[in-house]
Amino acid sequence: MKKPVLVIKFGSAAITTKEGDVDERIVLEIARQTAQLQSKYNIVLVSSGAVAAGKKYLKNYDGSLSARKAAAAIGNPLLVRTYSTYFKPFNIALAQSLCERQHFANRAQFLQLKDTYQELWKNNIIPIANENDVVSNKELKFSDNDELATLIAVGFGAEQLLFSTSVPGVLDSKGKVVSQISTIDKDVFSFVKKEKSAVGLGGMTSKLNFARLANQMGIQTVIFSMQTEDGILKAVKGETGTVCLPQKKKVSSRNKWLATGSLIKALVHVDEGAANAIQNRKSLLAVGVVAINQALETGEVFQIANEEGEVFAVAKSKIDVMNVESIRKKKNVAIAHADDIVLL
Ligand SMILES: Nc1ncnc2c1ncn2[C@@H]1O[C@H](COP(=O)(O)OP(=O)(O)O)[C@@H](O)[C@H]1O
Ligand SMILES: N[C@@H](CCC(=O)OP(=O)(O)O)C(=O)O
Protein backbone atom coordinates (compact mmCIF):
# COMPACT_ATOMS: atom_id res chain seq x y z
CA MET A 1 0.00 0.00 0.00
CA LYS A 2 1.16 3.56 -0.77
CA LYS A 3 2.39 5.34 2.33
CA PRO A 4 0.84 8.73 3.18
CA VAL A 5 3.15 11.73 2.94
CA LEU A 6 4.15 13.60 6.11
CA VAL A 7 5.86 17.01 5.88
CA ILE A 8 7.61 18.31 9.02
CA LYS A 9 8.99 21.87 9.04
CA PHE A 10 11.47 23.18 11.61
CA GLY A 11 11.74 26.96 12.09
CA SER A 12 15.05 28.73 12.66
CA ALA A 13 14.45 29.27 16.38
CA ALA A 14 13.39 25.64 16.81
CA ILE A 15 16.58 24.30 15.30
CA THR A 16 19.31 26.70 16.48
CA THR A 17 20.58 27.73 19.91
CA LYS A 18 20.59 31.33 21.10
CA GLU A 19 24.29 31.42 20.20
CA GLY A 20 23.38 30.58 16.59
CA ASP A 21 24.65 27.00 16.52
CA VAL A 22 22.61 24.12 15.15
CA ASP A 23 20.99 22.63 18.28
CA GLU A 24 22.35 19.07 18.30
CA ARG A 25 20.03 18.00 21.11
CA ILE A 26 17.02 18.91 18.95
CA VAL A 27 18.43 17.32 15.80
CA LEU A 28 19.02 14.08 17.74
CA GLU A 29 15.38 14.19 18.87
CA ILE A 30 14.23 14.81 15.29
CA ALA A 31 16.24 11.78 14.15
CA ARG A 32 15.00 9.52 16.96
CA GLN A 33 11.34 10.40 16.48
CA THR A 34 11.41 10.52 12.67
CA ALA A 35 13.00 7.05 12.63
CA GLN A 36 9.91 5.72 14.43
CA LEU A 37 7.61 7.13 11.74
CA GLN A 38 9.54 6.06 8.67
CA SER A 39 7.82 2.70 8.21
CA LYS A 40 4.41 4.39 8.19
CA TYR A 41 5.04 7.58 6.19
CA ASN A 42 6.94 8.97 3.23
CA ILE A 43 8.58 11.84 5.11
CA VAL A 44 9.85 15.23 3.92
CA LEU A 45 11.77 17.39 6.39
CA VAL A 46 11.84 21.12 5.69
CA SER A 47 14.50 22.82 7.77
CA SER A 48 15.24 26.49 8.25
CA GLY A 49 18.31 27.50 10.22
CA ALA A 50 20.93 28.00 7.51
CA VAL A 51 21.01 31.79 7.91
CA ALA A 52 20.90 31.57 11.73
CA ALA A 53 23.78 29.04 11.71
CA GLY A 54 25.90 30.89 9.14
CA LYS A 55 25.62 34.53 10.11
CA LYS A 56 28.20 34.56 12.91
CA TYR A 57 30.90 33.79 10.30
CA LEU A 58 30.25 37.09 8.52
CA LYS A 59 31.80 40.36 9.68
CA ASN A 60 29.15 43.00 10.46
CA TYR A 61 26.16 40.82 9.52
CA ASP A 62 23.33 43.30 8.93
CA GLY A 63 20.39 41.09 7.91
CA SER A 64 20.32 42.50 4.34
CA LEU A 65 19.37 40.13 1.53
CA SER A 66 23.02 39.82 0.40
CA ALA A 67 24.16 39.04 3.94
CA ARG A 68 21.34 36.47 4.37
CA LYS A 69 22.27 34.75 1.11
CA ALA A 70 25.94 34.55 2.15
CA ALA A 71 25.00 33.32 5.64
CA ALA A 72 22.77 30.63 4.10
CA ALA A 73 25.62 29.48 1.86
CA ILE A 74 27.77 29.01 4.97
CA GLY A 75 25.05 27.62 7.23
CA ASN A 76 23.36 25.14 4.92
CA PRO A 77 26.20 22.58 4.77
CA LEU A 78 26.63 22.88 8.56
CA LEU A 79 22.93 22.24 9.02
CA VAL A 80 22.75 19.26 6.69
CA ARG A 81 25.96 17.75 8.11
CA THR A 82 24.47 17.88 11.60
CA TYR A 83 21.25 16.21 10.42
CA SER A 84 23.21 13.50 8.59
CA THR A 85 25.40 12.83 11.65
CA TYR A 86 22.42 12.32 13.95
CA PHE A 87 20.33 10.27 11.51
CA LYS A 88 23.20 7.86 10.78
CA PRO A 89 22.87 5.77 14.01
CA PHE A 90 19.26 5.11 12.95
CA ASN A 91 20.48 3.86 9.55
CA ILE A 92 18.78 6.70 7.74
CA ALA A 93 20.52 8.61 4.98
CA LEU A 94 19.30 12.09 4.12
CA ALA A 95 19.19 13.85 0.76
CA GLN A 96 19.38 17.61 0.38
CA SER A 97 16.84 19.36 -1.82
CA LEU A 98 17.23 23.10 -2.35
CA CYS A 99 14.09 24.57 -3.89
CA GLU A 100 13.16 27.78 -5.66
CA ARG A 101 9.74 29.27 -6.20
CA GLN A 102 9.88 28.66 -9.96
CA HIS A 103 10.13 24.91 -9.31
CA PHE A 104 6.55 25.06 -8.05
CA ALA A 105 5.24 27.59 -10.57
CA ASN A 106 5.97 25.25 -13.43
CA ARG A 107 4.01 21.99 -13.25
CA ALA A 108 6.51 20.04 -15.38
CA GLN A 109 9.35 21.14 -13.11
CA PHE A 110 7.39 20.22 -10.01
CA LEU A 111 6.80 16.72 -11.40
CA GLN A 112 10.59 16.37 -11.62
CA LEU A 113 10.84 17.11 -7.90
CA LYS A 114 8.10 14.57 -7.26
CA ASP A 115 9.96 11.95 -9.27
CA THR A 116 13.17 12.58 -7.32
CA TYR A 117 11.47 12.33 -3.92
CA GLN A 118 9.75 9.11 -4.95
CA GLU A 119 13.09 7.59 -5.97
CA LEU A 120 14.56 8.65 -2.60
CA TRP A 121 11.65 7.17 -0.62
CA LYS A 122 11.98 3.87 -2.50
CA ASN A 123 15.52 3.75 -1.09
CA ASN A 124 14.39 4.71 2.44
CA ILE A 125 16.14 8.05 2.15
CA ILE A 126 14.52 11.15 3.61
CA PRO A 127 14.67 14.40 1.61
CA ILE A 128 15.47 17.51 3.62
CA ALA A 129 14.36 20.67 1.86
CA ASN A 130 15.26 24.32 2.27
CA GLU A 131 14.97 27.34 0.07
CA ASN A 132 17.89 27.78 -2.34
CA ASP A 133 18.63 31.13 -0.67
CA VAL A 134 21.95 31.61 -2.44
CA VAL A 135 20.24 32.50 -5.73
CA SER A 136 16.90 33.88 -4.50
CA ASN A 137 16.25 37.54 -5.06
CA LYS A 138 13.55 39.59 -3.39
CA GLU A 139 10.91 39.02 -6.06
CA LEU A 140 11.53 35.31 -6.44
CA LYS A 141 11.87 34.33 -2.79
CA PHE A 142 9.38 32.22 -0.91
CA SER A 143 7.87 34.37 1.81
CA ASP A 144 9.44 31.87 4.23
CA ASN A 145 9.84 28.14 4.71
CA ASP A 146 6.27 27.88 6.01
CA GLU A 147 5.33 28.57 2.37
CA LEU A 148 7.85 26.08 0.98
CA ALA A 149 6.64 23.36 3.38
CA THR A 150 3.01 24.07 2.44
CA LEU A 151 3.73 23.95 -1.30
CA ILE A 152 5.44 20.59 -0.83
CA ALA A 153 2.59 19.28 1.35
CA VAL A 154 -0.07 20.40 -1.15
CA GLY A 155 1.92 19.26 -4.20
CA PHE A 156 2.42 15.78 -2.72
CA GLY A 157 -1.11 15.53 -1.33
CA ALA A 158 0.33 15.08 2.17
CA GLU A 159 -1.84 13.72 4.95
CA GLN A 160 -0.31 16.05 7.53
CA LEU A 161 1.90 19.13 7.77
CA LEU A 162 3.68 19.76 11.07
CA PHE A 163 5.19 23.16 11.91
CA SER A 164 7.74 22.99 14.73
CA THR A 165 8.37 26.47 16.10
CA SER A 166 9.61 28.42 19.12
CA VAL A 167 6.24 28.33 20.94
CA PRO A 168 4.14 25.31 21.98
CA GLY A 169 1.27 26.29 19.65
CA VAL A 170 -1.06 29.19 18.89
CA LEU A 171 -1.48 31.09 22.15
CA ASP A 172 -4.83 32.73 22.94
CA SER A 173 -5.26 36.16 24.57
CA LYS A 174 -4.52 34.62 27.99
CA GLY A 175 -1.36 32.93 26.72
CA LYS A 176 -2.92 29.43 26.75
CA VAL A 177 -2.32 27.03 23.85
CA VAL A 178 -5.40 26.67 21.63
CA SER A 179 -5.55 22.90 21.24
CA GLN A 180 -7.82 22.66 18.20
CA ILE A 181 -8.97 25.03 15.44
CA SER A 182 -11.63 23.96 12.96
CA THR A 183 -11.56 27.16 10.84
CA ILE A 184 -8.69 29.66 10.80
CA ASP A 185 -10.76 32.84 10.76
CA LYS A 186 -10.54 36.45 11.97
CA ASP A 187 -10.95 35.37 15.61
CA VAL A 188 -7.91 33.12 15.35
CA PHE A 189 -5.83 35.84 13.66
CA SER A 190 -6.81 38.22 16.48
CA PHE A 191 -4.55 36.17 18.82
CA VAL A 192 -1.48 37.00 16.74
CA LYS A 193 0.98 39.41 18.31
CA LYS A 194 3.46 41.40 16.27
CA GLU A 195 6.51 39.73 17.77
CA LYS A 196 8.22 36.69 16.33
CA SER A 197 11.39 34.84 17.27
CA ALA A 198 14.62 36.79 16.68
CA VAL A 199 15.65 34.54 13.78
CA GLY A 200 12.27 33.56 12.26
CA LEU A 201 10.97 35.28 9.14
CA GLY A 202 7.20 35.16 8.96
CA GLY A 203 5.88 34.92 12.53
CA MET A 204 2.56 33.37 13.49
CA THR A 205 0.57 35.18 10.78
CA SER A 206 2.53 33.36 8.11
CA LYS A 207 2.09 30.02 9.84
CA LEU A 208 -1.68 30.52 10.16
CA ASN A 209 -2.07 31.69 6.56
CA PHE A 210 -0.30 28.62 5.25
CA ALA A 211 -2.00 26.31 7.74
CA ARG A 212 -5.32 27.65 6.42
CA LEU A 213 -4.34 26.94 2.82
CA ALA A 214 -3.21 23.42 3.77
CA ASN A 215 -6.49 22.84 5.63
CA GLN A 216 -8.46 24.04 2.60
CA MET A 217 -6.58 21.47 0.55
CA GLY A 218 -7.57 18.71 3.00
CA ILE A 219 -4.31 18.57 5.00
CA GLN A 220 -4.25 18.53 8.81
CA THR A 221 -1.70 21.00 10.20
CA VAL A 222 -0.19 21.03 13.67
CA ILE A 223 1.82 23.90 15.18
CA PHE A 224 3.99 22.50 17.99
CA SER A 225 7.32 22.74 19.81
CA MET A 226 10.28 20.36 19.84
CA GLN A 227 10.71 21.34 23.52
CA THR A 228 7.72 19.09 24.26
CA GLU A 229 8.80 15.52 24.96
CA ASP A 230 8.11 13.31 21.93
CA GLY A 231 6.84 16.46 20.17
CA ILE A 232 6.76 14.99 16.64
CA LEU A 233 5.24 11.68 17.76
CA LYS A 234 2.52 13.49 19.68
CA ALA A 235 1.90 16.10 16.95
CA VAL A 236 1.31 13.42 14.33
CA LYS A 237 -1.35 11.94 16.60
CA GLY A 238 -2.84 15.38 17.24
CA GLU A 239 -1.87 15.14 20.93
CA THR A 240 0.20 18.30 21.33
CA GLY A 241 0.30 21.89 20.09
CA THR A 242 -2.46 23.46 18.02
CA VAL A 243 -4.21 21.07 15.65
CA CYS A 244 -5.75 22.87 12.64
CA LEU A 245 -8.35 20.54 11.16
CA PRO A 246 -8.63 19.88 7.43
CA GLN A 247 -11.75 20.66 5.45
CA LYS A 248 -13.58 17.57 4.29
CA LYS A 249 -14.18 18.43 0.62
CA LYS A 250 -12.10 16.63 -2.00
CA VAL A 251 -9.78 18.75 -4.19
CA SER A 252 -8.19 17.26 -7.33
CA SER A 253 -4.38 17.29 -7.47
CA ARG A 254 -4.43 19.69 -10.43
CA ASN A 255 -6.63 22.12 -8.55
CA LYS A 256 -4.45 21.75 -5.45
CA TRP A 257 -1.55 22.87 -7.57
CA LEU A 258 -3.56 25.80 -8.94
CA ALA A 259 -4.60 26.93 -5.49
CA THR A 260 -1.14 26.98 -3.95
CA GLY A 261 -0.71 30.39 -5.49
CA SER A 262 3.01 30.09 -6.07
CA LEU A 263 2.38 31.10 -9.65
CA ILE A 264 -0.34 33.69 -9.16
CA LYS A 265 0.12 36.54 -11.60
CA ALA A 266 -2.76 38.92 -10.93
CA LEU A 267 -5.68 39.87 -8.71
CA VAL A 268 -9.04 40.31 -10.42
CA HIS A 269 -11.91 42.08 -8.63
CA VAL A 270 -15.40 41.04 -9.67
CA ASP A 271 -18.88 42.46 -8.99
CA GLU A 272 -21.52 40.81 -6.83
CA GLY A 273 -23.22 39.01 -9.74
CA ALA A 274 -19.98 37.44 -10.92
CA ALA A 275 -19.02 36.48 -7.36
CA ASN A 276 -22.37 34.70 -6.91
CA ALA A 277 -22.03 32.96 -10.27
CA ILE A 278 -18.55 31.70 -9.36
CA GLN A 279 -19.77 30.47 -5.96
CA ASN A 280 -22.43 28.55 -7.93
CA ARG A 281 -19.72 26.84 -10.00
CA LYS A 282 -20.26 29.03 -13.12
CA SER A 283 -17.56 30.52 -15.38
CA LEU A 284 -16.24 34.07 -14.88
CA LEU A 285 -17.48 36.29 -17.73
CA ALA A 286 -15.82 39.50 -18.87
CA VAL A 287 -18.87 41.54 -17.90
CA GLY A 288 -18.36 40.82 -14.19
CA VAL A 289 -14.76 42.03 -14.00
CA VAL A 290 -14.39 45.33 -12.15
CA ALA A 291 -10.62 45.70 -11.89
CA ILE A 292 -7.42 43.87 -12.67
CA ASN A 293 -4.02 44.81 -11.28
CA GLN A 294 -1.82 43.11 -13.88
CA ALA A 295 -2.14 41.93 -17.51
CA LEU A 296 -2.78 38.20 -17.95
CA GLU A 297 -1.86 35.88 -20.78
CA THR A 298 -3.92 32.81 -21.66
CA GLY A 299 -3.24 30.04 -19.14
CA GLU A 300 -1.92 32.30 -16.40
CA VAL A 301 -3.30 32.05 -12.89
CA PHE A 302 -5.07 34.78 -10.96
CA GLN A 303 -6.86 35.30 -7.68
CA ILE A 304 -10.47 36.48 -7.64
CA ALA A 305 -11.68 38.94 -5.01
CA ASN A 306 -15.25 40.07 -4.30
CA GLU A 307 -16.47 43.64 -3.83
CA GLU A 308 -15.29 43.57 -0.20
CA GLY A 309 -11.80 42.71 -1.43
CA GLU A 310 -11.84 39.16 -0.02
CA VAL A 311 -10.01 36.64 -2.18
CA PHE A 312 -12.38 33.68 -2.55
CA ALA A 313 -11.13 31.78 -5.60
CA VAL A 314 -8.16 31.07 -7.84
CA ALA A 315 -8.51 30.55 -11.59
CA LYS A 316 -6.65 29.98 -14.84
CA SER A 317 -7.30 32.52 -17.61
CA LYS A 318 -8.94 31.32 -20.83
CA ILE A 319 -7.95 34.37 -22.88
CA ASP A 320 -5.42 37.20 -22.81
CA VAL A 321 -6.60 40.04 -20.58
CA MET A 322 -4.56 43.20 -21.00
CA ASN A 323 -6.79 45.44 -18.83
CA VAL A 324 -10.44 46.02 -17.97
CA GLU A 325 -10.98 48.32 -20.97
CA SER A 326 -9.75 45.66 -23.40
CA ILE A 327 -12.36 43.12 -22.24
CA ARG A 328 -15.25 45.54 -21.67
CA LYS A 329 -16.78 44.89 -25.09
CA LYS A 330 -16.41 41.12 -24.76
CA LYS A 331 -19.21 40.98 -22.15
CA ASN A 332 -20.22 37.28 -22.25
CA VAL A 333 -16.82 35.89 -23.16
CA ALA A 334 -15.46 33.63 -20.41
CA ILE A 335 -12.30 34.90 -18.75
CA ALA A 336 -12.03 31.62 -16.85
CA HIS A 337 -14.01 28.44 -17.40
CA ALA A 338 -15.81 26.97 -14.37
CA ASP A 339 -13.57 23.87 -14.48
CA ASP A 340 -10.53 26.10 -14.10
CA ILE A 341 -11.79 27.93 -11.01
CA VAL A 342 -10.99 26.67 -7.51
CA LEU A 343 -13.11 28.06 -4.67
CA LEU A 344 -11.12 28.71 -1.50
N1 LIG B 1 -0.84 34.19 19.30
C2 LIG B 1 0.40 33.70 19.15
N3 LIG B 1 0.68 32.45 19.54
C4 LIG B 1 1.91 31.94 19.42
N5 LIG B 1 2.95 32.61 18.91
C6 LIG B 1 2.76 33.87 18.49
C7 LIG B 1 1.46 34.47 18.60
N8 LIG B 1 1.56 35.72 18.10
C9 LIG B 1 2.84 35.90 17.70
N10 LIG B 1 3.58 34.79 17.93
C11 LIG B 1 5.02 34.67 17.63
O12 LIG B 1 5.23 33.80 16.52
C13 LIG B 1 6.57 33.28 16.64
C14 LIG B 1 6.76 32.07 15.74
O15 LIG B 1 7.01 32.49 14.41
P16 LIG B 1 8.51 32.58 13.82
O17 LIG B 1 9.38 33.34 14.74
O18 LIG B 1 8.41 33.05 12.42
O19 LIG B 1 8.90 31.06 13.90
P20 LIG B 1 9.63 30.05 12.91
O21 LIG B 1 11.06 30.42 12.91
O22 LIG B 1 9.35 28.73 13.56
O23 LIG B 1 8.99 30.14 11.55
C24 LIG B 1 6.71 33.02 18.11
O25 LIG B 1 8.03 33.15 18.51
C26 LIG B 1 5.81 34.06 18.78
O27 LIG B 1 6.58 35.11 19.35
N1 LIG C 1 16.01 29.48 4.22
C2 LIG C 1 16.18 30.15 5.49
C3 LIG C 1 14.90 30.03 6.28
C4 LIG C 1 14.15 31.25 6.40
C5 LIG C 1 12.83 31.00 7.13
O6 LIG C 1 11.78 30.82 6.53
O7 LIG C 1 12.93 30.91 8.46
P8 LIG C 1 11.74 30.53 9.47
O9 LIG C 1 10.73 31.63 9.46
O10 LIG C 1 12.44 30.42 10.78
O11 LIG C 1 11.17 29.21 9.04
C12 LIG C 1 17.26 29.49 6.33
O13 LIG C 1 17.53 28.29 6.19
O14 LIG C 1 17.81 30.18 7.18
* 31-63 pLDDT tens trace: 999 999 999 999 999 999 999 999 999 999 999
Beta strands across the sheet bearing 160-165:
94-99, 126-131, 42-47, 5-10, 160-165, 220-225, 242-244, 180-181
Which ligand does the CA of 170 lie closest to?
Answer: 1
Q: What is the mean pLDDT of the chain?
A: 90
* pLDDT tens column, 56-78: 999 999 999 999 999 999 999 99
20 lines ligand 2 (CB under 6 A): no
> Which among 192, 152, 150 has a CA at the least distance from the CA of 171?
192
**What is the C-alpha separation between 197 and 194, in angstroms, rounded?**
10
Phi, psi of 244 (to 5 degrees): -100, 115
HSE of 204 in the Cβ direction (CA atoms, 13 Å)? Answer: 20
Q: At what angle do helices 145-155 and 107-122 cross, to 10 degrees?
A: 80
Ligand 2 centre to CA of 138 (Å) is 14
Would you list the DSSP string of 139-202? TTS-S-HHHHHHHHHHHTT-SEEEEEESSSS-B-TTSPBP-EESS--HHHHTT--S---SS-SS
Q: What is the pLDDT of residue 50?
A: 96
C-alpha to C-alpha distance for 120 and 46, rounded to whole angstroms: 15
Q: Is the CB of 147 under 6 A from ligand 2?
A: no
Domains of the chain: 5-254 (3.40.1160.10), 264-343 (2.30.130.10)
Q: Is the CB of 131 under 6 A from ligand 2?
A: yes
Which phi and psi angles does 153 have, rounded to 5°?
Answer: -60, -45
Distance CA(220)–CA(8), nearest Å, equals 12
* Polymer length in residues for the chain: 344
Q: Is 330 exposed, middle or buried (0-12, 13-18, 19+ CB in 10 A)?
A: middle
Chain centre to alpha carbon of residue 140: 15
The number of the ligand 2 atom at minimal distance from the alpha carbon of 201 is: 9
Say how far apart CA 99 and CA 236 lie, in whole Å: 25
Does the pLDDT at position 144 exceed 90? no
CB of 132 closer than 6 A to ligand 2?
A: no
Confidence check: pLDDT of 262 > 60: no
- Model confidence over 83-127: pLDDT tens digits? 999 999 999 999 999 998 777 766 677 889 999 999 999 999 999
- Which one-letter DSSP state was computed for residue 229? T
